[in-house]
A = this chain, B = another copy of it.
Amino acid sequence: MLAIMTSKTELLSNYVSGQWISGKGAGTALRDPVLGTELVRVDASGLDLAAAFAFARHKGGAALRALTYAQRAALLGAAVKVLQANRDSYYEISTANSGTVKNDTAVDVDGGIYTLGTYAKMGESLGDRHFMPEGEPARLAKDPLFQSQHMLTPTRGLALFINAFNFPSWGLWEKAAPALLSGVPVIVKPATTTAWLTQRMVQDVVDAGIFPAGAISVICGSSAGLMDQLEAFDVVSFTGSAETAAIIRSHPAVTKKSVRVNIEADSVNSALLMPNEAAGSDAIDLLVKEVAREMTVKSGQKCTAIRRIFVPEICYDAVAQALSARLTKTTVGNPRNETVRMGAVVNQEQLNSVRDGLAYLKAQTSVLHDGNTHALIDADASKACCVGPTLLGTRDAAGSDAADRIHNTEVFGPVATLVPYRNNDLNHALQLIRRGEGSLVASVYSSDPVALAQVVPELSDSHGRVHVISPDVAALQTGHGNVMPQSLHGGPGRAGGGEELGGLRALNFYHRRSAIQASTAVLSQLQ
């Protein structure tokens, strides 16, 4: 049974220095965004952070580094089993605390476990070694006896994760899997609003005794003072707002000690219908399906969700109608009701933020489908943080040029804007897309593989991922917004400039690259 049945809610413990420790304050309440009830409380005040970080860095780090990649991969595999065994309780927590329907919970919970499992498998291939050679040796002179060999060595520090509210499971494991596989201990600070699921998953893994002491810590509550603990060989990974990102980047640990930072911030992602698609073409159908799904999954609270939909002017009305028809069918309300397709946004603050953002965008757009027309199912509109999907549009190509707000504003909810570009003018579409100033994902739709391949390098300079949807992969494509562990996750500019996942590329962040210049006799011993 969930804690909501008790009169005074549980205060979740923090796990630091190999111990479960409660904060000294009364705590901040976590709530059910549909029912409004208090679920649990979190608090991190009074923790000895210096000791916690030293314990992770020295005790956890040394123990992890003593293992090989293959041994650490086996620990990730063991953690996957523990998480799978407790999956039902994670679904329960997610429904209560994130207000998500089952399909949306799966993106977070099962997505996190899948990512962890993928790194467990990939890690096996790294074998019984403690560092990784990179590339081939290069001669430094005509005589091949003295050469340069690059290698990657795990950093002798810890990884601090300051995570976002929308993925308490996936956000934990997509970062922790490559860190732990690299031999780097982890301290995770989940977003307070949804910290419960992160805390529970860490608790289950800790209780199972899988990782050495200090390998994984969780601090629930305020992030105050965490950055102050960082030292030169630590790294910090942040997912969240551009404002907080700027504060992290300006911290002396970063500016003076060169603490490595990975940031994922705002992103105004695009979907692009290529020119010359006839009405009723497969590509248009695929675009409409994908956009409707992306707008509504997790109530649009995905950093990868489609925010701008670029179509030739000639297709504007047809796409607007087809999208509106799909969105109309989206049932909104209490995720416990099986007829509901879209649950809540995470809390009242986010609901207000979505409403404010909508008002801001509406000043430069028309409403093509109004989220307010969706009556809530099984939910009290005065309490539930639910909002229907809204499609906006800039009417014509001139409107798309003029509407600066749609290109630089991420409304973090079920909201997107249909943006027509001049017919047959792909460059116009690309110019408009670039006004996003760097995003996580662009998806592109056409039946012509040559045209698709030609547009890829025009998108790849400003997007961490380009997702190409053609009719031949309609049933296979993994989704615009789904982050696959095999592919890079991150984006330049506004998106924060970070790089996560991408298969084994993710390990680079947790390793130091070094050139070893030595005799072939010495280099051969390093292989």
Neighbour of A156 across the interface among B265, B461, B499, CB < 8 A: B461
| A514 contacts across to B, CB distance below 8 A | 459-461, 463-466, 488
| A477 contacts across to B, CB distance below 8 A | 146, 517
| A233 contacts across to B, CB distance below 8 A | 438, 461-462, 492-493
**Which residues of A in the span 230-269 have a Cβ within 8 Å of any Cβ on B?**
232-233, 242, 245-246, 249-250, 252, 254-258, 260, 263, 265
A338 contacts chain B at the CB level, 8 A cutoff: no
Where chain A touches its partner, the secondary structure class is mixed
Interface size grouping (class) on chain A: 35 or more
Q: Are A517 and B464 in contact (CB under 8 A)?
A: no
Chain B binder among A4-12, A317-325, A448-456:
A448-456
| A459 contacts across to B, CB distance below 8 A | 514
| A381 contacts across to B, CB distance below 8 A | none
Q: Are B473 and A519 in contact (CB under 8 A)?
A: yes
Known: A153-B461, A522-B456. A488 touches B473 (CB 8 A): no
A382 contacts chain B at the CB level, 8 A cutoff: no
| A242 contacts across to B, CB distance below 8 A | 256
**Which residues of A in the span 408-434 have a Cβ within 8 Å of any Cβ on B?**
434
Residues of A within 8 A of B (CB): 130-131, 135, 138-141, 143, 145-146, 148, 150-151, 153-156, 232-233, 242, 245-246, 249-250, 252, 254-258, 260, 263, 265, 434, 437-438, 449-450, 452-454, 456-457, 459-468, 470, 472-473, 476-478, 484, 486-488, 492-497, 499, 502-503, 505, 512-519, 521-523, 525-526
27 contacts between A and B (CB under 8 A): A131-B460, A140-B476, A140-B478, A140-B486, A145-B472, A146-B478, A148-B484, A150-B487, A151-B456, A156-B434, A232-B494, A233-B438, A249-B254, A257-B494, A258-B438, A260-B497, A452-B518, A452-B525, A453-B523, A456-B518, A460-B512, A460-B514, A468-B516, A468-B517, A468-B519, A473-B518, A473-B519
Identify 13 new A-B residue pairs, CB closer than 8 A, beyond the known A233-B493, A449-B522. A131-B457, A140-B478, A140-B484, A148-B487, A249-B255, A258-B497, A456-B522, A460-B514, A465-B516, A472-B521, A473-B519, A487-B515, A488-B514
